Structures are given as structure tokens and as C-alpha cells.
Structure 1
Amino acid sequence: MFDRLPTFGFTRPPAVLLAVIASTFFVGFGGGVVFPILPNLGAVLGISAFMVGLILSANRFVRLVANAPAGALIDRIGTRRPFVYGLFIEGVATLGYVVALFVPPPEAWFLLARVLWGIGSAAVFATAYTIAADVSTGDSRGTNMGIVRGGITMGFPAGLVLGGVVSALYSNAAAFVLAAAFALFASVVAYVLVPETHVENGEGASVKPWDIDTSVPAVTVGLVNFGLMFAYIGALFATLVLFLGEHDLSLFGLAPQGTSGVFMAGTVVSAAAFMLVGGRVSDTRKSRTPVLLFFLVVSFVGFLLLARAGSVIELSFACVFIGAGQGGTSGPLMALLADLTPDERMGRASGTNNVFGDIGGGLGPMVSLPLVEAVGFEPIYAFCALVPLAAGGVLLVGVRRVTGTFRPGRADTNATVAD
């Protein structure tokens, strides 16, 4: 069914990746729908700012103990079953948002839904990246990783718009029900279209939360991911609706919920576009490191613009830069991890990377929401601008430690793995 899709100058990815993209796109609605709604809904339901931050971060804290077992499980039983079951769990979790609106106490139901979402998404993220690594070569890895990451990400802005606009025009319940329907449909798409790619005859085995990849490549890439997720998801997304209300900024006459959904969606669309660009460019260069450093600097500029934003135009530019920086690093970063990781450990390496990302994304709302109330938005966003620069330093140190050079070629990294 994917054979007739246009390529727009790019080599068409394998059909299995297109199926993964379709599945993760639909399920992503459930991840984004809650962000524009819950920060404002919390006051109505009597949920404190701290509890709202905890709810928004709960899925990431759950993934701290679920990512590593998910990665280890993939290396043992394959990708198909964890991917399909993970998507189904995320669909059920999205239904929990609906329950929270009508069954007290709402904070308990929201928290339970986010916990389930964390379990499901741990399996989905690790399998998606592992599938991309399984069907890629060194010359296509960056592109395919960018495509998969873009597919995972693009459902999120659709959920942001759905949450902001549908809740404003109809109701919060309507937004949650629609997101749940799409999320459950995603598991059906995966069941029908996604085959096994990782192992032929997987055997069941026990897995542990601490079964992570502690190699230098996995830890290095993980630390970079930690910084980016802390600033991008943990700080920006958790505070943007409040920033809009504080500065009385609006698009199309929408309230802060609707406006934040549109802005966050624009940020993620920018990220998704540059995921493909960054991955493709890294596949055409001898080394992926310069591409990664360039987009980390772009992220730095974006947060500086955000710290000084006082109008819709300025905020728009900031969001585009932040999205481009975030997205442009994603494909090359995961491709670099795959370059430096043996195939049989890629599941664990993907899980480890997600552990670090979820620590950053989980800590972000917990730290940023209370601090915004205490010191304001500008100092928090200015601090976030420094995070990508620090991540670039970590990247250079880690790559030098593994390969002996700051700019390893893809052949050099593959040789390092083989050794």
C-alpha cells in the first residue's frame, strides 16, 4: 500500500518503516492532547501546580524503569509483539483521560493514565528505533532514523492542536475521546502491517529495570538526549500555556490553551522536518559530528530568542529555531548510536537512550513549573539555552573517547564496533 507514495527526491524507506510511522503518528495524539488542557484544567479540578507537573512527567518517570527492560526484551524476543502491545496500552491509557473528567479524584485517574502511557511508550520507542536500525545501512541510517523519529513526533503536534482547538471549540472530553480513538486504531495498523525484524526465534527471558547498556556510546548519546528533553519537552512544553497567559499573546482569537497547542504543534512540525534533513545530511557527510553540533547551536539560539520573546512574531521564530535544533539532532544522534553499537545490543542501547531522555523530560516540568512561579520565565528559558551547548561538549568528549577523534567517519565508527 506504500509503493505509490511520492519520494520528493529521497530514497523511499522500507515499507516496514512507513508502517511504523503510521502507527506512531496515530498513537502520538494521546501524548500531545493533554499538554494544552491540563495546566489550565488543573485549577478547575483543584489540582495543584506541583501535581500537574507530576502528572505530565509521570509517563517519563515510569519509563525510567520500563525503558531498559523494553530494550532487553526486544533483543530477546524481537520487535513485533512489544510494538503492537505497547501501542494498545497507550490507547487504553488515553481513555483514562476521559475517566478522569467524570470520576473523582481526577488527579488519581490522570496519574494512572500517564503511568500506563509510560509503560506502553517505552516499548513503542525502543522497538521503533530498533526496527529502523535493523533495516538500515550506514548510508541510510541517518535518514531512516530521522524518518522514524519524525513519525513518532508528528503525532504529538496533531495531539497538541487537537487538545487545544477541539477542547476550545467543543469540550475537553471530546478532545480526549477523539485522541483515544486514534490511539487504539494505531495498534490495529501495527498488528496488520508491522512484521518481525530483529530476531527469528525469540525465547522468553526475565528482564530487569537496571539491564541497561553502560557503554560509552550509549551513555554519551543518552546524556545529550537528557539535556535536549529537559529543555524542550520538560521546560518549554510544560510552561508555554502559562507564558502565553502571562504575556497576553493569542493566535486566531484562541485562549491560551488553543494558542499553546498551535505554537507547540508548529515547534514539533519544525522538528519533524529537520529530523529528515539532519539525518539525510549526516548520511552524505564523512562524519555526523559537525551536523549534530550545528543543530545544537540552532537550539541554543532558539531558547535565547524565547527568553526575549514579547510578541507572537518573536515567539514564532523562537519556536521554529527550537524545533529545528531539536529535530536536526535526532536523526544523526540515533544514527551515531547505531553506528557505534553492535546489532545484537541495539535494543538495549535504544532503551538506555530513552532512559536518559525521560529523566530530562520528567525533571523538566517538576523543576520549571515551580521555578516559573518563583523567578519568572526569562531566567528559566535563558538557562535552557545553555543546555544544548553543554550537550555538545559531552558529545565531543564521548565521541573522542570511543573513536580517538572528534570527527569520526561512518567507516571509522563501524570499525570501532567491529573491534
Structure 2
Amino acid sequence: MTRGAGADVSTGRMLWRFAPMIYGPTALFGLGEGALLPLLPVIATSLGADVPQAALVASVIVVARLIGNLPAGWLVDRIGERHTMAIAGALALLGALGVIFAPNMAVLCIAVFGIGLCASAFGLARHAFMTTRVPLAYRARALSVLGGSFRAGMLTGPFVAAAFLALWPDERSVAWFFVGSMVALIVLVLVGRDPEEVLAAEGHGARPAAASAPKQGVFRTAWLHRGVLARLGITSATLSAMRQARVYLLPLWGVSLGLDAQTIALVVGITGALEFALFYSSGQIMDRWGRLWACLPSMVLMGGAFFGLAFTHDLDSAMAWFVAAAVVVGIGNGLSSGILMTLGADVAPASDPAPFLGSWRMLTDAGAAAAPLLIAGVSAAASLPVATGVIGVIGLVGALGFWRYVPRFVPHRR
């Protein structure tokens, strides 16, 4: 679609078009994943795993997401977004059954790895789908709502898990909820009408055909676009690293201050609430004033908060500084909702975005995967405040990268 094709369609109506086929399935995937992930270490322990092994099971899904991006780009390029989303949902369903009936740790790890691969394929397919179908005027808002749909599912999932455990006191019962979520997801993806067809039927035009454009393949596409991937892609990986770092740093900081679990959960919960509350505002900012106005403040806020927090550990007011930093990080991350998907869509080849998005998402996922390793390594070699300061520096360096490369690769108001 062109920018003008959907210009006369209200924002609400435009976004509603994607609810049955994209937003609904995304929320379902996030809901099922959010319910299942916290219980994976518990399931591993029931199979005889010790604490390090149980932690390893939870990390398998992160590694699978990272590895799965390039194959997912190839698959979407070959069979299309809708079929890839449906296949990913079906295979994730089989992975959940593997979790339910796993007789040992090896089978559990294979099942969890499969779920991670499917999550990667589903995520890339919906990203490519939105890239090719959303008018430019609505792109950031549409992708921010996409990110918000997943966050809503992930936030609600643990509460659903708690309800299931209250009814059926077996941790594997939650995996059955994941199975049900995948069944509903598959139905929505296969039955939901393509929003492009709806708009075309209403006379708003359709996406220009790109069948004549030759397909370059995943690796060829990555090589042809190595400049933007090496600059804007790696810069975006620092934002992904900041997001993942907050998941580990905030609870660790609370523990280091001697806070109880309830207080830590409350502070982290406030952070999550702020992030969720701001997801649509991020899209509005990007569509109205440009992408830089979302990613630059986000990185400055998160990087500055972590860097400043590193100097407060031994102060009498350390608790107050911890809460303040958590609030600032929540606001910063909320302002960046959907930015990684939006930037990827902006710089992807319009005729065939999936192979490029495979490389783009691999870079951003690599940043997320590296953050916990960096925190653990620096904390072991020096201290937690030093690790927090390093993360803050990475955030500020990333802000400089966005300031330099977003105007270069993404024109004004794009």
C-alpha cells in the first residue's frame, strides 16, 4: 500500500483491520508464552534438574529465538506470512505437548527449543505482514499496537498460570492452556480476512504487486544491505540489550539492597505498568514527529537511569534512587514500544522484506541475548554497580548511534 492509499481511513478503523489476523493471534501467543515461561524451571526441577540446569532450560528459548530468525526469513520468503504464522502455531502446539509429556530433561529442552523457533518464525511473519500492508502514515502506530498486544499477553500470562495452578495443582497443566492458545491462534490466522483485501474492496487501493522483483535470498539480502545492518542494525541491538538488561538488573539491584521479594515485585510491576501504558504514545510520536523522537529519548532515559543508579548503591537514599531509576527506565522503555519493528520495516526492501527482516531481527535478538551474559560477567569480575554502569554507557552510546544513523537511513517523519 502507498501512503495515500489508506490516508482517508481513520486510524482506529485501520488498526482494527489487523485485530483478527495479527493483534489477536499476537496476544494469544504472548498470553500462552507468558503463562508457560515462568513455570519451565519448575517443570525442569520436577524432572530432576538442579538450579543451574533449570535456569538453562529457561534460556534455551532465547537461544532458539536468535537461531530461528534467518530460517524464518527464508520460510516467509518462500510460503508467505499467513502460512508461516499458521505452521509456527501448529509446531508450537506440538512443542507444548512435548513439554507436557517430556519424560526427561533432554526431551524438555528439545520441546522448549522448538517453541522458541516457532516464536521466532511467528514474530518475523507478522512483522513482514505488517511491513507490506500498513500504509506509511499508520506504520509506527500499527507496530506499536502490535508490540502492546504481545506485552499485554505476557503481562496477563502469569496470572492465568496462577489461576490454572489453583484449579489443577500440576505445573504442566499450564502447558495445556498454551495448547489451547495455539489452537485459537491457528484458527484466527487461517480464517481472518487479509486487511489488504478489505481495504481493496472498500476502494482504498491495494499494495502494488512486487512479483516481478527477483528474490535475493537471506544471505544475499544481508550482504546487499550490510551498510544499514552494520550501522542502524547494531545500534538497534543496543536498545534490545537495554530492554533485556532491565529484566535482570532491577531485581538484582533490589536483592543487593536487601529488599524483600514483595517490594522488588512491586517496583518491577510499576515499571511494567508504565511500559504498557505508553505503548500507543510511542507510535503516535513516531508517526507525527519521526522515529528519532522516540528512540533517542528512550535510550537517553534508560542509559542515564542505569548509569546514575550505579553510583547510588551505598547511599542512605539508595532505595529512593532505585525506585526513581525503575520509573525512568519504565518510561524510557514505554516510549520505545514498536520502534525496532518500525525501523526494520522502514529500511527493509519494499518488494521482499522477509529475508532482510530475518537479519535485522537476528541482530536485535543478539543484543538481548548478550545483555544477561555481560551483566553476569562484569558482576563476577567487578561488581553489580560496575555492571549497571556499563549497561548505562551502552545505552548512551546507543543514543548517539540513533542520533547519527536514523536521519541517515530513515528520512524525516519516517
TM-score range, shorter chain: 0.7 to 0.9
In structure 1, the partner of 2:192 is 193
Aligned partner letter, 1:352? S
CA 1:127–1:365: 2 relative to 1, 3 Å: same
Per-residue deviation, 1:290: 2.8
Given the alignment, which residue of 233, 237, 249 partners 2:247?
237
Residue deviations 1:138-188 (CA, integer Å, cap 9, x gap): 321111111112222321222244456765894533434333432432222
The one of 321, 328, 333 equivalent to 1:326 is 333
CA 304–195 in structure 1, closer or farther in 2 if over 3 Å, else same: same
| 2:13 counterpart SS class | coil
Name the CA shift for 1:92/1:228 in 2 (closer, same or farther; >3 Å): farther
Percent same amino acid at aligned positions? 20
Which one has a bigger Cα radius of gyration? 2
Distance 1:382 1:158, change over 3 A: farther
1:28 aligns with 2:36: no
What amino acid does structure 2 have at the position aligned with 1:277? S
Which secondary structure does the structure 1 equivalent of 2:155 belong to? Answer: helix
Distance in 2 of aligned mates of 1:209 and 1:295: 31
Q: Is the 8 A contact 1:273 1:327 kept in 2?
A: yes
Give yes or no for the alignment of 1:299 onto 2:294.
Answer: no
CA RMSD of superposed structures (Å): 3.9
Structure 1 residues 242 and 386: CA distance shift in structure 2, 3 A: closer
Unaligned runs of 5+ in 2: 1-9, 197-206
Letter of the aligned partner of 2:352 in structure 1? R
Over residues 38-91 of structure 1, what are the superposed CA-to-partner deviations in whole Å (9 max), with x where a residue is unaligned? 567767765456544543332332333421232243244321101111122233
1:222 to 233, 242, 261: 233
**Distance change (3 Å), C-alpha of 1:111 and 1:196:** farther
Conserved in 1, the CA contact under 8 Å of 2:378 and 2:386? no
Q: Tell me the SS of whatever aligns to 2:352.
A: helix
Cα displacement string for residues 2-41 of structure 1 (whole angstroms, at most 9, x for unaligned residues): xxxxxxx953334442121111111113433355445677
| Aligned: 1:67 with 2:74 | no
TM-score normalised by the chain length of structure 1: 0.75
On the 8 A contact 2:235/2:398 being kept in 1, the answer is: yes
Q: In structure 1, what is the equivalent of residue 117 of structure 2?
A: 119
The answer to whether the aligner puts 1:387 opposite 2:386 as a matched pair is no
Q: Which residue in the other structure is 1:289 paired with? A: 292
2:93 corresponding residue in structure 1: 91
Q: Do the aligned partners of 2:45 and 2:54 also contact (CA within 8 Å) in 1?
A: no
Deviates more, 1:367-376 or 1:62-71: 367-376
Seen in structure 2, the aligned counterparts of structure 1 residues 304 and 161 have a Cα distance that, compared at 3 Å, is farther
Q: CA deviation at 1:376?
A: 5.4
Structure 2 Cα separation of the partners of residues 142 and 363 of structure 1: 27
Q: CA deviation at 1:300?
A: 2.1
Instruction: Please say which of residues 128-137 and 235-244 is displaced more in the overlay.
Output: 235-244
The letter of the residue matching 2:18 is L
Flag the 1:228–1:92 CA change in 2: closer, same or farther, 3 A.
Answer: farther
Q: Which one-letter code corresponds to 2:241 in the other structure?
A: F
Report the Cα offset of residue 120 of structure 1.
Answer: 0.9
Residues 177-222 of structure 1, C-alpha deviations (whole Å, 9 max, x = no match): 33343243222222221538687989xx996678636343344443
Counterpart of 2:222 (choices 191, 212, 228) is 212
The answer to whether the 8 A contact 1:74-1:347 is kept is yes
Instruction: Give unmatched runs, 5+ long, in structure 1.
Output: 1-8, 253-258, 414-419
* Structure 1 residues 11-410: aligned runs within 5 Å: 11-19=12-20, 20-38=22-40, 47=49, 50-100=52-102, 103-104=103-104, 106=105, 108-163=106-161, 170-193=169-192, 195=194, 212=222, 214-233=225-244, 235-238=245-248, 247-251=258-262, 260=265, 267-285=271-289, 287-304=290-307, 318-369=325-376, 377-399=384-406, 401-402=408-409, 408-410=411-413
Q: Given residue 129 of structure 2, which amino acid in structure 1 is its aligned partner?
A: I
Distance change in 2, residues 1:391/1:142 (3 Å): same
- Map Cα deviations across residues 377-402 of structure 1 (whole Å, 9 max, x no partner): 44333322222212222223333554
Task: Measure how far apart 1:372 and its partner are.
Answer: 5.1
CA spacing shift, 1:68–1:154, aligned 2, 3 Å: same
Distance verdict in 2 for CA 1:44–1:92, change over 3 Å: closer
Amino acid across the alignment from 1:139 = A
> Which amino acid letter does the alignment assign opposite residue 232 of structure 1?
R
CA contact (8 A) 1:153 1:268 kept: no
SS of aligned partner of 1:342: coil
- Structure 2 CA distance, aligned partners of 1:303 and 1:35? 26
Identify the range of structure 1 (367-376 vs 23-32) with the bigger mean alpha-carbon deviation.
367-376
Give distance in 2, aligned partners of 1:293 and 1:361: 18
Aligned counterparts of 2:408 and 2:210: Cα–Cα separation in 1: 34
The 10-residue stretch of structure 1 (157-166 or 84-93) with the greater mean CA deviation from structure 2: 157-166
Distance 1:132 1:349 in 2: 14
Query: Could you tell me which amino acid in structure 1 is paired with residue 222 of structure 2?
Result: I
Query: What letter matches 2:80 in structure 1?
Result: G
Contact kept? 2:218, 2:355, Cα under 8 Å: no
Aligned pairs, how many?
385
In structure 2, relative to structure 1, the CA distance for the partners of 1:147 and 1:87 (3 Å cut) is same
2:58 is matched by which residue type in structure 1?
L
Give the Cα separation in 2 of the matches to 1:270 and 1:96: 36
| 2:18/2:195 contact within 8 Å kept | no
Q: How far off is 1:320 after superposition?
A: 4.2
Question: Which one-letter code corresponds to 2:59 in the other structure?
Answer: S
- Cα pair 2:92 2:118 within 8 Å, conserved: yes
The question of whether the paired residues in 1 share the 8 Å contact of 2:99 and 2:108 is answered with yes
Q: For 1:263 and 1:164, how far apart are their aligned partners in 2?
A: 20
